[in-house]
Amino acid sequence: MNTRVILLVTLTPPLLITYLIGIWFWMDSTLLFTQFLLVLPLCYILGSVPWGYMITRASSGADIRQMGSGSIGTTNVLRTSGPKLAIIVFLLDVGKGLLAVFLAKATSTEISLEVAAGLLVVIGHNWPIFTGFKGGRGIAPGAACALIMVPLAFAFGTAIFAILVYLYRYVSLSSLVGITAIFIFLVVQVLVTNTSPVYLIFVGVADLMIFWQHRGNLRRLIAGTEHKLGQKSWGP
């Protein structure tokens, strides 16, 4: 058995028991703190569910991390395994973000918990514990969170994304410009309406994580070797 798996199986029970005991002692002191302790680990675990890896593994036996870009997200699944599996993976990854935000909303009315839940589900998706912290790019769960938190900014960014994909067929470039557009729109929205500025924390930090995960794509875009939507092969 893999050493990492052995360590995970060995350490998880005592850590989980310690964590639950800690929650029990803190319950009576600060309700919001207890809510954070309960919700945030669940959101990270939810984000860590590697749908792209599991579905492609079940379909072909291949390890998506060893194919194409190495990402377990929708775009790499589309290139390496086709549109049917890609659609399934996309919907399930979107479901991660939706479920995380709804869980936070059901637990508390605090926007800070909602924002933290969104960030943890994106962190889990990008660096999942179940696949050696090698995950996706964060677009699908991040977009789902933005849809619930800041729907107008999300709609604006999605429109920019769709236009750029149609014109240039670079999913990575379109995604990065789209999330930047969400942030810019939200800044304006916060300044001219009563939208909570706390949402800027989610969008700003999530954007930084997504840009970091796209650093390889950025290098290929600069070098002119980035693949366009519809291209099957993958160069070195």
* Residue 204 pLDDT: 95
Tokens of 228: 């366009």
- Return all residues near 143 (Cβ < 8 A) that are at least 6 apart: 94, 97, 154, 158
Q: What is the pTM of this model?
A: 0.84
* Residue 25 pLDDT: 58
Closest to 229 in 3D by CA, of 155, 150, 151, 174: 174
| C-alpha span between 210 and 140 (Å, rounded) | 10
For the chain, 236 residues long, give each residue's pLDDT as a single digit of tens. Answer: 456 555 555 555 565 556 555 655 555 556 677 788 888 899 999 999 999 999 999 988 888 988 888 899 998 999 888 999 999 999 999 999 999 999 999 988 899 999 999 999 999 999 999 888 889 999 999 999 999 999 999 999 999 999 999 999 999 999 999 999 999 999 999 999 999 999 999 999 999 999 999 999 999 999 998 988 876 544 33
With b meaning 16 or more CB within 10 Å and e meaning fewer, what string describes 59-87?
eeeeebbebbbebbbbbbbbbbbeeebbe
* Residue 2 pLDDT: 53
Region of 169 (left: φ > 0; alpha: ψ -120 to 50; beta: rest) is left
- Give SS3 for 229: coil
